Chains A and B, each alone.
Chain A
C-alpha cells in the first residue's frame, strides 16, 4: 500500500505534536522496534512515536487517520506471535511512556493504570494491602498490561483465576478517528454490548488502549505446590483429569515432558527427577484448612494413579524452587539449541496422549526435536521446536512443523492459540480454524471500528485471498478450498 503523504511531511506534522526525541525516524533508532518476542519476523517501521499521554496518542492517531497511515500499537514487545511486528509504511506507537499507576481503589478491589505499566508492577504496588493481580504470563516481569489486554494473556494460574478478560473491568481506548471511548465500568458490568470482551484479545485491530482498570484479589491465606513424577506421559495426563474430576480446581497445574525436564534441570538445578517421562506441578491455594485437606487428597490421587515420586514443598523457598524449573523452561530450552519456536495450541485435555504421539511422529518426520511444556489444567500446549536458523531452510521447516501441530489442535476440537495470539505467526492457520463466512464476520467487526483498515493491518484475521493462496498449498482430502477465488 502506498502512503498518501510522504515520510518527511509526516515527520513534520508529528513533530509538531510530540516533544523532541519522541519521534524516531533514523534507521538505527528504529531497529529496536523491528520485532517483538517472535524475533524470526523482522521489519522496520516507517516511524516510531513515543507519546507521553493520552492527548498525544489521540493527536498521533488523528494525524495518521487523516493521511491514511497505518498505526501499530506496541507495549513491551514481549508478544510471541508477531502482533506488534511493524510494517514499512506504518507508524509504530510505543506506549512505554504511559507507565503510571493512576489509582488504587482498595474498597472496590480495583487499580486503574496506564497501558505501559508492567504486569508484575501492579501486584507489587498493591502487595502491602494484601492484594494482587491474578493473571501471570511468564513474561510478567517485562510485559505490559496494555499488551496483556490486547492479547488476552493467560499464565499458569488461569485454570482457577481466568484470563485477562476475567480480570479487568474497564478500559479507555482511542478510536482510529482519535476519539476516546470508555468501555466497561467500575461496576461488575456495563450497559450495552460487551465491548470489553470484544476488545480483550483483539490484538490492536480495533483501537489503541490508553487506560485499564484491573480487578484485584486478596492474596490467598495459604499456597502449596506439589511435584509428582511419572514414567509415562499418558499416565501423567490421566492424573490431571483425576484431580479435576475429584472436584479440585488447583491454582496451577503444569506438565513438562522429559526433554523439557532435562533442559530445565541443566539450567537452574531445580532438583527435578531427570529420569521421569513427565512431571506435574500442582499448586493449591485458599484457606489454610482447605489447602491442607486438598493437598492430602491430591497426594492420594497422584499416588493411586501411579506417580513414581511425590514431593510437597514444605517452605516458601522450596515452593519457589519447584516453580523455578517451570518458569525457566523456555530459556532453558534456548540453551540446548541455537533457536526454538514456541507453539501455543489448546486441546481438550483427553486428547493429550493422541496429540503427543502425533507430535513425536512429526518430530521424527521433520528431523526437529521437541520439548513439551504444558498448562495441563486447561489444555494449553507449548511444544518448543528446536532448530538452527543459520541452517538454510530449517526455519521454514520449523514453521511448517509448527503449522502442522496447530492443525492437529483444530482437529482435536481445540484452537490454534490459547494465549499468545494470532498476530502474524498463525494467520494462515486461521484459515483452517474458521470458515469463510466466519472470517468475513470478523472483518465486518473490524470495519465497524476501523473502516479503512488502518489499525495493525494484516494481522490476526486473514483475508479470504490469503486463505485461498494458503489453501492452494494445502489441499485437504483432494478438495481445493476457495475454488471461487482467483489464484495468483
Chain B
C-alpha cells in the first residue's frame, strides 16, 4: 500500500516538457478495449491501497491501482458492495474500472460507475495533482470533474484516488428463467420497468430470459408470483459469467460490439445478440460492416462501440458529430494541453 502520486506527477511533468506521449497502464485486464496506441508506459499498479472506508457513511476511498477484488472483499465483510457490479475481466484495478466506466448487470437498476463516483484526485497533463469532489453524497461546488473523468479512459487525467458511494448487499436474491424469444423478452422488460418490482438484473441470452430479484424474503416471493418462470440454480455463477463475459455466448471469434440503445428499441442487425440491462445494452457478435452497424444503432437513438476485436482502421467508439468532437477536443486541451495522456485511446484526435 503506497502513494505514488508525487512520483507519477514527476513522470508526467517530464513527459509534458519532452512532449512524450504516455500510455497509462494498470493491470492490463482491459488491454483489448479502445484504440491501440503507442507511447511510454506509465505504470500505476504500484499506487495501491484503501485510504478510508466508513461503512456507516457508505463511502470508500481507494488508490487507483487497488485491485477491484480486494475492494469487493473488504466491502463484503461489512455487507456492502459496489452497486454498479463492475466486471474484473481477470484482475482489474479500480482506476481502470472508473476510467472505462464499466458497469455490470445491475446498472439499469442501481446506476453506472459514474453515478457512484463522489470525488477523485487526479494528475492532469501538466503534472498537477488536483482534487475534485469529496467523500460526501451531495456536492455541487465547482464543475463535476470527477464524473467527467469517469469513462474518459485516462485522456483527461491520470486517476490517483477515487471516492465511491457504496451500498448494502441485499442478502436475499433469486433468479428466474423464462424460455421465450428476444422480442417477447423485450416486451416483458418494458412491462416490468413500469412496475415497482425488486428487479436487479434482466437479460436474454439468445435462448431464454433471466431475471434477478433482490430484497426481503416476502418481497421476493411476491415478485416471483408476479413474474413466473423457473427458479435458476447456480444463479450467482450465471450473473458472474454474464458480467465477466465468460458466458458461452461470448466464446466466439467474431468481433464483439456493445450497442447502447434506448431499452425498448427493436433493432435488426445480422449476427447474434445477447440482451442485457433490461434491453439497454446489447452485445452483438457480427462481421457486418462497422458503418452499417453504427448507422442502424444511431437511428435507434444509441451508439455502438467495438468492444473486442478492434482493428486499426476502425475507431472503437462511435464517431462524434463534428461540433461535439470540436468541444471534446477543446476540453482535452484544457486538461492535457500537450496531448500526452493516452492520446488516441478514445478517439484518434483526442
Contact = CB atoms under 8 A, between A and B. Distances in A.
Nearest to A378: B137
Give the interface centre of B57, B107, B108, B318 by most chain A CB atoms within 10 Å.
Answer: B57
A293 B170 CA distance: 13
B333 A448 contact: yes
Contacts of B4: none
A426 B1 CA distance: 37
Interface in B184-205: 190, 193-198
B131 A438 contact: yes
B7 interface: no
Given A179-B323, A198-B148, A419-B138, A447 B194 contact: no
A109 B303 CA distance: 19
B144 A461 contact: no
A286 B150 contact: no
B239 interface: no
A248 B140 CA distance: 25
Interface string A370-390: 000001001110000000000
A290 B107 contact: no
B152 to A, nearest CB: 6
A247 B168 contact: yes
Contact of A289 (B124, B132, B216): B216
B290 interface: no
A456 B335 CA distance: 22
Nearest to A109: B193
Contact of B168 (A249, A290, A449): A249
Contacts of B274: none
A310 to B, nearest CB: 21
Interface string B129-160: 11110111111111111011011100010000
A338 interface: no
Contacts of A249: 167-168
B326 to A, nearest CB: 9
Given A247-B79, A420-B140, A192 B346 contact: yes
Contacts of B280: 187-188
A51 interface: no
B145 A445 contact: yes
Given A185-B301, A191-B303, A287-B219, A166 B111 contact: yes
Nearest to B280: A188
Contacts of B193: 107, 109, 218
Contacts of A204: none
A99 B261 CA distance: 28
A337 interface: no
A434 B142 contact: yes
A397 B136 CA distance: 28
Interface residues of A, number: 94
A195 B140 contact: no
B331 A193 contact: yes
A158 B303 CA distance: 29
Nearest to B78: A245
Interface stretch (A312-320, A345-353, A358-366, A469-477): A345-353
A190 B281 contact: no
Interface string B325-350: 10110110111000000000011000
Given A197-B114, A348-B57, A286 B196 contact: yes
B312 interface: no
Nearest to A190: B303
Interface string A107-130: 111100000000000000000011
A220 interface: yes
B74 to A, nearest CB: 16
Nearest to B146: A197
Q: Which 7 A-B pairs have the closest CB atoms?
A: A197-B147, A289-B218, A247-B168, A418-B138, A378-B137, A448-B330, A444-B334
20 contacts: A130-B195, A175-B323, A187-B260, A188-B280, A189-B112, A190-B260, A191-B318, A192-B347, A198-B147, A221-B196, A249-B167, A287-B197, A287-B223, A293-B216, A348-B136, A418-B138, A434-B141, A441-B335, A445-B143, A448-B334
